[in-house]
């Protein structure tokens, strides 16, 4: 994570980027955070009566859906002999299906006449049970569709202590929804006849491919055999050991690829790919690494970057954990279509193409960073998730949170020049097993892991992880197992002293929802905590009595201080009482080491404002980011007034970090209200106030854009935030920004082969058209109509054309918009409004007018329950707009008083 310098307090720009990497996306979801699915609130799994014939009624800690019922533990799988036969030929027309057979060796733990395992969407047409020396008669095979179960009723019981073999043959339909075993059609080398079969079995889709014990703690070994067309190749978790031939019932020839016996693993990690891909390879510490993709992608070198980074990250993680990767190979496959983004299947990782392929023209898109993060994340899973697997899905954070934390370490090792930022994972709103895979699991898991590593020290934390991995290798664990191993390490040393057991500390973070805000009084040294919530919308019945055990990293007057712990709702820290000197100040949560917000009293804020105005570098960059982000968040949630946040912006002329500028602009100039702001008296004041402070950093980046834009290739923060910064400068009327846009746009007009740098393309096109005339607009329209324009290019150009100032050009855009289904209703009902609307500034009055039109639209087209929901949304929007109007008035008053500061 980079060594701290000098006093152990400050971090350099590169290390600061790493710190931001761990927690930056966390701050984007703080308002929406809820609990990790807390296993702590529930009792352990109940013991099961020996004669229970069916599944348990439910699982503590998991969403209550029938398909999530736990299997009885009468039988435990030991080994699978699995054959899969996707019935796919090149050029074949659908429908497509697959067949197969599976022999599952099980150990009987309790006498039972019923065999219960998972099966979903499969047609099982034969079932047998082989016992020691004889077959057992199967009276019936019952498929329970709702519970996704196959139940075999036997004439005589299976006996505890003995092993049996379950034999089932099955067939099913190949899905095209990218779940289970699915089919994808794709174009390669200019031809569109190609088909690919692949799998995505997490969390509970293995049961849709073969009958199995589809729970993460029911691990077994696998012998896998795939029957496929001879022109394709087959991949699975292990290397192939044989390729033979067979004929089907019609005499047609098929290939049979047999794979080596797998290690003990969960069913969701089994993986299958049948494709006509090429690959590149290298060997790392005796392990073959292959990157597979479409032939065209391999030929053009799009997989080379992934190949170059996979080996070094792989070796870094081996050294970090001090545990060798246990498989003889690892394949990474770029799928043309893949809904999961990426999947860590043991030995056969699968990726959406955009998560693995790096194109030469991607150098300003941040794609390199994203690929490195995703590859590092999935490689971390080879240990956390594959080697050691969570016992049940309510401890999903044990793999996803830890992998999200470790991905940054791997990328920093392999690409130290990259400024990192974590990707965000979309929250799945459905109440199902899939909804566990949300941004809370990833981001909160990574954040509390970062915090844990911080107060333990990296050395002790890594030692504990090593102990945990070795203890539970090829097995399963829950979060208490991790706490136990960390505690064992803590108990054997004297360097780190904790105020409570590791379990008690960490349960306060994983077993309750949300996170705290700490309120600081530097006169008394008192710090209190409460759950961070929206005070504006609370009522008298709301109760927030949560208490966390909070590690507080802090500095005083620029010097680091010993770690403090807040383990009550309120506590006095005499060390944090300050003198009357304006140069005596404190700062909490240094470098975002903790998972909480900080609310300072007015006295400390005043001193921090004074400090930043005199020396911005007196506070580390990540802490400046955190300070501003906390203040704006506290304002939005009713903890403090907007003026307090605005005071902190006075120093910005000395701020040279784009990611810090971004948090300011995101709050003062939100994308969705730019036009509204222009209609208020706040705009000219904001223009004068911000431009004065933006000029130094603007000139720095404008110089790169004009002279050597390639120098920004590895500046991820520029790739992510420069567009917003430049757009704001142009929107505020900075003449050099408008001139720069015109220069680059004219350069493109003179030479259509010239590419405007991607990181500023949208802004340049918009203001190139805005400051231009009919000629610039016509060029955008012609480029929009080009057949080779990508969807993204068309979106940028369409947006640019709407930036024109001439009313007749805007009328052309409105006519085009009226051909779009989304706007047809308004064009038909209010043709004059649609013709004039693009010319207007979008004021609150116009928005209210639009709300009325939307209300009419909803009332005429939606069902009653949908109308109620839509009305509620509209009322909320109206309220928010009125609140924003009041806020803008206060901002204008403050700017008017401070405009010349």
Rounded-to-integer distance, Cα 650 and Cα 898, Å: 9
User: What phi, psi does 389 have (nearest 5°)?
Assistant: -115, 145
350 with 375: CB under 8 angstroms? Answer: no
Rounded-to-integer distance, Cα 85 and Cα 172, Å: 10
3-state helix vs strand vs coil in the chain, percent to 5: 45, 20, 35
Pairing of strands 388-390, 475-477: parallel
In the chain, the N- to C-terminal Cα span, in Å, equals 38
Number of continuous H segments (helices) and E segments (strands) in the chain: 26, 31
CA torsion 798-802-804-807 (nearest 10°) is: 130
CB atoms within 10 A of CB 842: 17
Q: Catalytic site residue 378?
A: yes
Rounded-to-integer distance, Cα 365 and Cα 758, Å: 7
Catalytic residue among 83, 378, 647, 657: 378
Rounded-to-integer distance, Cα 633 and Cα 625, Å: 12
The candidate with the shortest Cα–Cα distance to 848, out of 882, 886, 823, 887, is 882
Q: Is 381 annotated as a binding residue?
A: yes
Is residue 828 classed exposed, middle or buried when 0-12, 13-18 and 19+ CB atoms within 10 A define those classes?
A: exposed
- Angle subtended at Cα 464 by Cα 458 and Cα 467, rounded to the nearest 5 degrees: 140
- Angle subtended at Cα 82 by Cα 352 and Cα 228, rounded to the nearest 5 degrees: 60
- Angle subtended at Cα 846 by Cα 842 and Cα 851, rounded to the nearest 5 degrees: 115
Return contacts of 160-163, CB within 8 angstroms, 24+ apart. 160/108, 160/109, 160/110, 160/111, 161/107, 161/108, 162/107, 162/108, 162/131, 162/132, 163/78, 163/105, 163/106, 163/107, 163/108, 163/132
User: What phi, psi does 304 have (nearest 5°)?
Assistant: -65, -40
- Angle subtended at Cα 375 by Cα 374 and Cα 378, rounded to the nearest 5 degrees: 85
62 with 204: CB under 8 angstroms? Answer: no
Q: Which residues contact 259 (CB under 8 A, 6 or more apart)?
A: 223, 224, 225, 226, 236, 237, 238, 239, 240, 241
Residue with tokens 């097995």: 475
Give SS3 for 341. coil
359 with 367: CB under 8 angstroms? Answer: yes
User: What phi, psi does 897 have (nearest 5°)?
Assistant: -85, -20
CB atoms within 10 A of CB 887: 15
Rounded-to-integer distance, Cα 33 and Cα 407, Å: 22
Q: Is 377 annotated as a binding residue?
A: yes
DSSP state letter for 441: I
Record the tokens describing residue 808, joined without a space: 């007749």
The per-residue DSSP string of 218-258 comes to --BEEEEEEEE-TTSEEEESS-EEEEEEEE-TTS-EEEEEE
Q: Is 811 annotated as a binding residue?
A: no
Q: Which residues contact 680 (CB under 8 A, 6 or more apart)?
A: 888, 892
**815-to-17, 86, 277, 467, 830 alpha-carbon distances in Å:** 46, 50, 46, 67, 13
Binding-site sequence positions: 377, 381, 400
Q: Which amino acids are annotated catalytic?
A: 378
Binding-site sequence positions for Zn(2+): 377, 381, 400
């Amino acid at each position: 994570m980079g060594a701290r310098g000098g006093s152990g307090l400050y971090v350099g720009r590169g290390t600061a980027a790493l710190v931001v990497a761990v927690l930056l996306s966390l701050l984007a979801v703080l308002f929406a955070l809820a609990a990790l699915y807390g296993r702590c609130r529930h009792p352990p799994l109940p013991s099961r009566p020996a004669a229970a014939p069916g599944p348990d009624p439910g699982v503590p800690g998991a969403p209550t859906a029938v398909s999530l019922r736990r299997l009885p533990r009468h039988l435990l799988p030991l080994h699978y002999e699995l054959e899969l036969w996707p019935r796919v030929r090149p050029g074949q027309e659908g429908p497509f299906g697959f067949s197969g057979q599976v022999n599952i060796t099980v150990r009987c733990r309790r006498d039972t006449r019923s065999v219960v395992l998972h099966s979903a969407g499969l047609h099982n047409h034969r079932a047998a049970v082989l016992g020691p020396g004889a077959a057992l008669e199967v009276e019936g095979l019952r498929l329970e569709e709702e519970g996704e179960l196959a139940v075999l009723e036997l004439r005589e019981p299976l006996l505890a202590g003995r092993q049996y073999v379950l034999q089932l043959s099955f067939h099913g339909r190949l899905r095209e929804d990218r779940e289970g075993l699915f089919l994808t059609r794709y174009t390669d080398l200019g031809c569109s006849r190609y088909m690919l079969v692949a799998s995505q079995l997490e969390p509970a889709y293995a049961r849709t491919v073969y009958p199995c014990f589809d729970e993460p703690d029911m691990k077994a070994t696998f012998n896998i055999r795939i029957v496929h067309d001879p022109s394709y190749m087959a991949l699975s978790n292990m290397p192939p050991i044989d390729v033979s031939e067979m004929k089907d019932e019609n005499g047609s020839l098929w290939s049979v690829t047999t794979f080596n016996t797998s290690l003990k693993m969960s069913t969701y990690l089994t993986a299958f790919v049948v494709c006509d891909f090429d690959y590149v390879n290298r060997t790392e510490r005796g392990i073959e690494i292959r990157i597979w993709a479409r032939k065209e992608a391999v030929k053009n070198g799009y997989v080379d970057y992934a190949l170059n980074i996979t080996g070094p990250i792989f070796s870094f993680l081996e050294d970090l954990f001090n545990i060798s990767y246990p498989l003889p190979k690892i394949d990474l496959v770029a799928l043309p279509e893949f809904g999961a983004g990426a999947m860590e299947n043991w030995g056969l990782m699968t990726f959406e193409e955009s998560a693995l392929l790096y194109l030469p023209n991607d150098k300003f898109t941040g794609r390199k960073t994203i690929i490195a993060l995703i590859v590092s994340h999935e490689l971390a899973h080879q240990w956390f998730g594959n080697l050691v697997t969570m016992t049940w899905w309510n401890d999903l954070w044990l793999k996803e949170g830890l992998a999200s934390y470790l991905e940054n370490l791997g990328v920093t090792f392999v690409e130290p020049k990259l400024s990192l930022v974590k990707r965000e994972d979309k929250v799945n709103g459905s109440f199902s097993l899939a909804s566990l895979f949300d941004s809370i699991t990833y981001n909160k898991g990574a954040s509390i892991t970062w915090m844990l590593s911080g107060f333990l020290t990296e050395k002790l934390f890594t030692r504990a992880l090593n102990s945990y991995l070795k203890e539970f290798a090829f097995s399963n664990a829950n979060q208490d197992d991790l706490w136990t191993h960390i505690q064992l390490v803590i108990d054997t040393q004297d360097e780190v002293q904790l105020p409570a057991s590791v379990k008690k500390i960490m349960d306060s973070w994983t077993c309750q929802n949300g996170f705290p805000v700490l309120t600081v009084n530097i006169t008394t040294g008192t710090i209190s905590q409460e759950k961070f919530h929206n005070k504006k919308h609370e009522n008298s019945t709301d109760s927030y009595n949560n208490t966390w055990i909070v590690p507080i990293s802090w500095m005083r007057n620029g010097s680091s201080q010993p770690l403090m712990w807040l383990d009550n709702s309120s506590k006095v820290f005499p060390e944090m009482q300050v003198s009357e000197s304006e140069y005596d100040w404190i700062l909490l949560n240094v470098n975002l080491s903790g998972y909480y917000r900080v609310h300072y009293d007015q006295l400390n804020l005043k001193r921090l404002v004074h400090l930043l105005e005199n020396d911005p570098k007196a506070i580390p960059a990540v802490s400046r980011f955190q300070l501003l982000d906390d203040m704006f968040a506290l304002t939005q949630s009713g903890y403090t007034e907007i003026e307090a946040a605005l005071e902190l912006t006075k120093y910005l002329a000395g701020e040279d970090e784009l990611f810090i500028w971004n948090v300011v602009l995101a709050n003062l100039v939100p994308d969705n209200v730019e036009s509204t702001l222009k209609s208020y008296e706040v705009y000219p004041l904001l223009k004068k106030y911000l431009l004065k402070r933006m000029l130094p950093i603007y000139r720095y980046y404008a110089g790169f854009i004009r002279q050597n834009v390639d120098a920004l290739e590895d500046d991820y923060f520029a790739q992510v935030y420069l567009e917003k910064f430049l757009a704001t400068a142009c929107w505020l009327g900075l003449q050099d920004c408008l001139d720069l846009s015109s220069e680059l746009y004219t350069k493109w007009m003179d030479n259509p082969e010239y590419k405007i740098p991607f990181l500023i393309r949208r802004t340049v096109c918009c203001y190139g058209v805005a400051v231009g005339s009919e000629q610039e607009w016509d060029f955008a329209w012609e480029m929009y109509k080009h057949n080779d324009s990508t969807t993204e290019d068309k979106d940028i150009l369409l947006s640019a054309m709407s930036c024109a100032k001439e009313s007749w050009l805007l009328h052309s855009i409105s006519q085009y918009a009226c051909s779009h289904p989304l706007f047809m209703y308004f064009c038909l009902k209010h043709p004059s409004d649609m013709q004039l609307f693009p010319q207007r500034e979008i004021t609150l009055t116009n928005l209210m007018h639009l709300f009325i039109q939307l209300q009419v639209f909803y009332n005429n087209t939606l069902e009653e329950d949908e109308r109620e929901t839509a009305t509620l949304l509209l009322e909320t929007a109206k309220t928010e707009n009125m609140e924003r109007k009041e806020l803008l008035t206060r901002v204008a008053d403050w700017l008017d008083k401070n405009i010349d500061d």
